[in-house]
């Protein structure tokens, strides 16, 4: 593997900031360019403007900076086939091509893949016509979950307690196009109960390795209340994924998935995010697949991975994953996301943010929706704005370290959950 590589990181959220930091830490990396990046990334690396979904524009940028590795952070460029364009031109790319990205960009495609390969998942049916979808509700037990099949930034999922709610969700998606083209097709799914966990599976050349299991907090409100968001905090390792659960995941989910990819002729080179629901008997089912790192899960997983993640990503990009024995740091990591007031609804942008100068050992502030104005003042520029990450000797220690810094961030709109990790810290509550 070449030393002093140039890495191009595509994207500009908290996940990409974590990827950028991980590249800066790696002995193998000489230079990192981020595109488009954000206000925090711009303080640490070169940032270039780019339309990340425009394959030709990204290709031109990769050529201009002489990228030895391109890491594609978000799903939209993957769904747009940017990885294919780069790979065809000879670049090493971490991220699957357009066809494999359909595992995320079409929930209907994903569910068919799971069914065809015998992977356990919630019972489901997909529809494009209102009348057929509504008629199908006669056969459902409630609650049901109504989902826009296409990409909807984690927001196109509605849990419907009764028939009336389900009918209106169906109409909102198929008729009123509340989620635009993403809701042209919908999936209606059995409601699963249990604990969720996120598993990041690095895949290259028919082999895979798993990072530690993690747990996201999707709802905006404490105690898992209110609407779904992109993720308000996460921690790892998640104890709900015991060795016994992990053995079932490998046997019933990952083995048939790898075989399914092979049969479909999909040369997957990237990370497959397996969203799991684990019931009270420890039986895992797939809630969803994503074709990129979870955000904010990535921000806690990379600092815990003692094996250089850049090396793993190069191996995946080359389609020959050779490092299969991963080492992880002792302890645990947590991220608390700071969002704008009003998120995931409408919220203000352009609010000034003051960050603490000196950070304690093991703590980082990752930027998601920020920008720098002409005077160098940091401003809010999105819904999820910052994330405070901490690595500690255990989850309690990580939480204490993270929240101590959260409290020092000065910003009028600062909105966050105080209870990240509570389920593991206080299992009975």
Residues engaged in binding ligand GLY (CB under 6 A): 154, 216, 231, 290, 294-295, 297
Cβ proximity to ligand GLY: between 62 and 382 the closer is 382
To ligand GLY, the closest distance from the beta carbon of 293 in angstroms equals: 7
Of residues 111, 161, 121, 126, the one with CA closest to residue 141: 161
Q: Does 196 bind ligand AMP (CB under 6 A)?
A: yes
112 in contact with ligand AMP (CB under 6 A): no
Nearer to ligand GLY by Cβ, of 17 and 87: the residue is: 17
- Measured from the CB atom, the residue of 192 and 326 that comes closer to ligand AMP is 192
- Rg of the chain (C-alpha set): 21
**Region for 161 from its dihedrals, namely left if φ exceeds 0, alpha if ψ lies in -120 to 50, beta otherwise:** alpha
Cβ neighbours for 180, distance < 8 A, ≥ 6 positions apart: none
Beta bridge partners of 93: 70
Name the binder of 191 from ligand AMP, ligand GLY, none, CB < 5-8 A by kind.
ligand AMP
Q: Which is nearer to ligand AMP, 87 or 285 (CB)?
A: 285
The DSSP symbol for 276 reads E
Contacting residues for 155 by C-beta, under 8 A, at least 6 apart: 179, 227, 228, 229, 344
Neighbours of 63 (CB within 10 A): 13
24 vs 152 by CB, closer to ligand AMP:
152
Partner touching 16 among ligand GLY, ligand AMP, none, CB below 5 to 8 Å by kind: none
Question: Pattern of binders to ligand AMP over 203-232, x per CB under 6 A?
Answer: ---------------x---------x----
* Separation in Å, CA 33 to CA 14, 47, 70: 16, 6, 10
E-assigned strand segments in 87-237: 93-94, 124-127, 144-148, 157-160, 186-190, 195-204, 207-210, 215-216, 219-221, 225-228, 233-236
Q: Residue number with the shortest CB distance to ligand GLY?
A: 231
Q: Which residues contact 253 (CB under 8 A, 6 or more apart)?
A: 119, 120, 274, 276, 284, 286
User: CB under 6 A: which stretch of 32-40, 191-199, 305-313, 365-373 binds ligand AMP?
Assistant: 191-199
Tally: H helices and E strands in the chain: 14, 22
Q: Which tokens is 65 given?
A: 């900076």
How many residues bind to ligand AMP according to rule CB under 6 A? 15
DSSP 142: S
Q: Footprint of ligand AMP on residues 136-155 (CB under 6 A)?
A: 145, 147, 154
Q: Which is nearer to ligand AMP, 223 or 352 (CB)?
A: 223
Of the candidates 5, 2, 6, 22, the one whose C-alpha atom is nearest the C-alpha of residue 364 is 22
Residue window 248-287: x/- pattern of binding to ligand AMP, with contact defined by CB under 6 A: ---------------------------x-----------x
- Cβ nearer to ligand GLY, comparing 120 with 154: 154
CB of 145 to ligand AMP, least distance (A): 4
CB of 2 to ligand AMP, least distance (A): 37
With 0-12 CB in 10 A as exposed, 13-18 as middle and 19+ as buried, what is 199?
A: buried
Closest approach of Cβ 98 to ligand GLY, in Å?
Answer: 19
Among 191, 264, 356, 372, binds ligand AMP (CB under 6 A): 191
Residues that bind ligand AMP (CB under 6 A): 122, 145, 147, 154, 157, 189-192, 196, 218, 228, 275, 287-288
């Amino acid at each position: 593997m070449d030393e002093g590589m140039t890495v191009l990181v595509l994207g500009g959220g908290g996940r990409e900031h974590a990827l950028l930091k991980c590249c800066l830490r790696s002995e193998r990396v000489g230079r990192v360019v981020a595109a488009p990046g954000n206000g925090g990334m711009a303080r640490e690396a070169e940032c270039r403007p780019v339309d990340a979904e425009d394959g030709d524009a990204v290709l031109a940028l990769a050529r201009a900076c002489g990228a030895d590795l391109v890491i594609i952070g978000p799903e939209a460029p993957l769904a747009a086939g940017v990885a294919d364009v780069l790979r065809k031109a000879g670049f090493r790319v971490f991220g699957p091509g357009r066809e494999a990205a359909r595992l995320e960009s079409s929930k209907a495609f994903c569910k068919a893949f799971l069914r065809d390969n015998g992977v356990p998942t919630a019972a489901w049916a997909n529809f494009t016509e209102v009348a057929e979808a509504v008629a199908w509700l006669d056969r459902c037990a409630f609650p049901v979950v109504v989902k826009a099949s296409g990409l909807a930034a984690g927001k196109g999922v509605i849990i419907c307690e009764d028939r009336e709610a389900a009918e209106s969700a169906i109409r909102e998606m198929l008729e009123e196009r509340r989620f635009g083209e993403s809701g042209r097709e919908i999936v209606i799914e059995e409601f699963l109960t249990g604990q969720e966990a996120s598993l990041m599976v690095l895949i290259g050349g028919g082999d895979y390795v798993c990072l530690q299991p993690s747990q996201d907090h999707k709802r905006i409100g404490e105690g898992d209340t209110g609407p779904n968001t992109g993720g308000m905090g996460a921690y790892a390792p998640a104890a709900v994924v015991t060795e016994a659960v992990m053995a079932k995941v490998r046997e019933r989910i990952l083995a048939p998935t790898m075989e399914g990819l092979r049969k479909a002729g999909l040369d997957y080179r990237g990370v497959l995010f397996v969203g799991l629901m684990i019931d009270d008997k420890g039986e895992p089912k797939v809630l969803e697949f994503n074709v990129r790192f979870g955000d904010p899960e990535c921000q806690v997983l990379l600092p815990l991975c003692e094996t250089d993640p850049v090396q793993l990503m190069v191996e995946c990009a080359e389609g020959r994953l050779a490092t299969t024995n991963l080492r992880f740091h002792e302890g645990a990591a947590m991220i608390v996301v700071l969002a704008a007031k009003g998120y995931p609804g409408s919220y203000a942008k352009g609010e000034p943010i003051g960050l603490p100068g000196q950070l304690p050992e093991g703590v980082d502030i990752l930027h998601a929706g920020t920008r720098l104005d002409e005077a160098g003042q940091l401003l809010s520029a999105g819904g999820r704005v910052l994330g405070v990450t901490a690595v500690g000797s255990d989850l309690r220690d990580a939480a204490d370290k993270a929240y101590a810094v959260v409290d020092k961030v000065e910003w009028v709109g600062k909105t966050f959950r105080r209870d990240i990790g509570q389920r593991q810290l206080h299992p009975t509550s």
